[in-house]
Chains A and B, each alone.
Chain A
Amino acid sequence: MDFDTTVKTAIYETIAETGSVPDAGHVAATIQAPVQEVQAAFERLQQKRLLLLEPGDPSRIRMAPPFSGVPTSFLVHARGRGYYANCVWDAYGVAAALHCDAVIDASDGHTGEPMILEIRGGQPVPVPGVAHFAVPAAKWWDDLIFT
């Protein structure tokens, strides 16, 4: 396994086990590598659009899709833990990535009305709701936080 894959795997293993997105120092300690090398791997993984680093602090991960490194309005309850997702697509994506049932605390993007989504037995439980993609696919990474 190459170094970048080792770093990526460590990131996702930590998230799955803890619900928290690790920073470069945590990953360096986990895989016993210099933090500077881990941070360089973070940059390369961002160039491959596998991570989005925190603006102004490349030692921290803002997004390891579908997981968010910061609290959002999409909190996924699964495996007895809470995982923040970047958007409604990623909220379902957390359940898909973890291969488990999930209950998602969400809200209407305009009114803020609380909404609950659920994945049970590999399928979404039917509820009223739609997803809206405001940004065309070609522009998603221009401002991924807005997307």
Chain B
Amino acid sequence: MLLFRSGETVKAWCAARGLPVRPLISLDQLWILAETWYENRLTPDSRRPKPDEMVGIFASIGLTGPFWDPTSDQW
């Protein structure tokens, strides 16, 4: 996951690699993801979210659909 100054540089990066432009995430959304994912990572009982938990985390910040579903084979 890369950082870009704007959507324009995202488009240029994708075009240079022949890749489609995927969803853009605001830095506020990204911070919520980071806190949810990692705030307990240094504790002994930390674990990676399960697939259904991942879907819920993404949906909580408005990221829905097969692109954000770790069990999907269609995106």
Contact = CB atoms under 8 A, between A and B. Distances in A.
Interface of A: 1, 5, 8-9, 12-13, 16, 48-50, 65-66, 74, 87-99, 106-111, 113, 115, 117, 119, 123-124, 126-138, 140, 147
B60 to A, nearest CB: 14
Contact of A108 (B4, B31, B48, B69): B4
Contact of B10 (A119, A126, A132): A132
B11 to A, nearest CB: 9
B38 A109 contact: no
| Dominant secondary structure of chain B at its interface with chain A | mixed
A14 B23 CA distance: 35
Given A49-B48, A89-B30, A136-B75, A109 B69 contact: no
Given A110-B12, A131-B3, A97 B41 contact: yes
A116 to B, nearest CB: 11
Nearest to B45: A5
Interface residues of B, number: 48
A13 to B, nearest CB: 8
Contact of B9 (A13, A94, A99, A108): A108
Interface string B21-34: 11111111011011
Given A87-B1, A119-B31, A124-B31, A138 B75 contact: yes
Nearest to B19: A134
Given A131-B1, A132-B13, A133-B23, 4 more contacts: A98-B42, A111-B12, A132-B25, A136-B66
Contact of B1 (A50, A94, A129, A132): A132
A94 B38 CA distance: 8
Contact of A96 (B3, B4, B7, B34): B34
Contacts of B23: 132-133
A66 B69 CA distance: 21
A110 B13 contact: yes
